[in-house]
Structure 1
Amino acid sequence: MWRLARQGSNSWEVEVKGQSTLDISTTFVKLDPNSGFDYEMTAKPIAGENATVIVRIPSSENIGTVDNLILTDPEGSELARHGGMTQVASRADSLVYRITFPLPAKAFQMATEGTDKAGNQFLRLRPKTIVPGPDNPLKLAVTVDIPLLITGSLYINEQLAVPFLVINKGAAGSTVTVTVRDDQNFVKTTTSLEYMLQPGQNTLGQFSLHAGSTVGVTSTVTVSASASAAADDDFQYDTVIVTTEERVVRKEDNTIPVCNITAVTGSCDVTMLDPCMCSQYNWSGTAEIQDDGFGLYLVTASVNTTGTFRHDPFSVGYNGTISATIA
């Protein structure tokens, strides 16, 4: 804590600087129900809904406790204080926490509060201002969800469907305009669609991406939605990154290799398979081996040190017949 007292009537300008190894980052994430993992949110969060934040501290040697996530308005006044952060697995020299809380209806910043190992309190404020939407319940809130809907890869000389979900979470019906853009001009079809949605109503839409003939081209696709009943700055968006790749058609080999026994000398019954007894008996055999599918890859036999296994030489993929001998 710093305290500065001015004595006299002169005008002062005071600048305070600090230097510390303690750095804290906060990231909004969303759970992917398919994989069970969190991914970073790119869409604007919705006021009143529960949001999940990951708090990361890359250097933790001086950290004692991490206690609260504090929400403040842009002027620094506290809006909410959330404790009970859950620590999740991370590297040995770092700390990662997860916390879920309801979003306020107004713009806010996030600060992390805790103590160091000496018991001193620390407070780290992230200067980025989060503006949830909507800040008025009469406005129309729209969400665009891509990561949970898009499937498949963008293959060269082919097209990929980009489905999206639009939800009216406001209290009034409105026309919602959904637009898509990308930085490689993969979007060749309609780039803007309109939907009339009543409160609580949702609809599915779709755009198409058309890849060129070059492998490894990466494009960021952004889908945004705005509502006629909302303010100009009340919109939602989401992004997905796609990279062109070549479609590889992998053939399946359903043909089983064939091993035909052509001759056996001597005998080998169950009693002779006893490791303590088998060396007292001699037997040998020959076989013909063939594969009509992708061809032969490897030929082996389970023989011990007292036996030998030989086969004709062949190259991988050979479709002819080879002879093999065990003695």
Structure 2
Amino acid sequence: MAYKKKLYGLLKEHVDSADDVGEYKMPEAYDMGENVNQEKRFSVAMQRYKDPKAKDKMNPFAEQEAWEEHQIGKSKLQFGSKDRMRSSDDYQYVFEDSIEFVKSSVIQGAQPEDYSDREDIDAKDILKRELQDERKTLPIYKFRDELLKAVEEYQVIIIVGETRSGKTTQIPQYLHEVGYTAKGKVACTQPRRVAAMSVAARAYEEMGVKLGHEVGYSIRFEDCTSEKTIVKYMTDGMLLREFLGEPDLASYSVVMVDEAHERTLSTDILFGLVKDISLFWPDLKLLISSATLDAEKFTWEAIPS
């Protein structure tokens, strides 16, 4: 008999182990008795997710009523504490019209912004006048009328002037003032990039415009120009690059080759190209400027075309 009980126990353990396949089994509830109110128990847990004003929101006129209550509340708005002590009775005193000893305009005064705007305007006017007065002190200003008359009569002009005489910055402005920019742009070439940027910065200050609008510069890897540009400073290489897209330079009315005495490779090629253009386009004005160039030895006809 003991042997049979032992055998029965081993078989039962084998069957139980076969049923245990590693699945999750829901535990039996410990509070499923009859005395426990399950609905009330779960209502406490769900209370935070219920809107106490849900019934009011179901009203189709809820939004309008809320707006009316808000407007009525604003009309009844009062400042101060509700339980404050009244220090005295509220009376409305009636006095005769008092004499205005101090005018209201004096009391009001002027705003600080007004003074700052006036100071900015005055500073700009003063700077503009100083720049114009400084332009008149340059040596080339004395020859302004003669230069413009020569540009009108001749197509090619050789200009020899000392350094810092105002050739690079003033001549394009003179041409703009008499109307050459109405026909096309005025180009002024420089042998170096830094020189093109510096003279453009000086020219736009004297003309009172923004850099990149009416006055701009074009160098390698940087083009500070726009459709409004009428005076353009650039290097010799950039003007040669423009020949590729516009062989006749139809968008220019004046081409000024500055610092021609340096005789770079780009300058020599540029002379030959502009000479070809001048043969079939007489309206294009060519100005050759230099500080040390011997004008008598320089022969335009000797340039190969």
TM tier, smaller: under 0.3
Between the two structures, name the one with larger relative contact order (CA 8 Å, sep ≥ 6).
Answer: 2
Larger Cα-atom Rg = 2
Higher helix share: 2
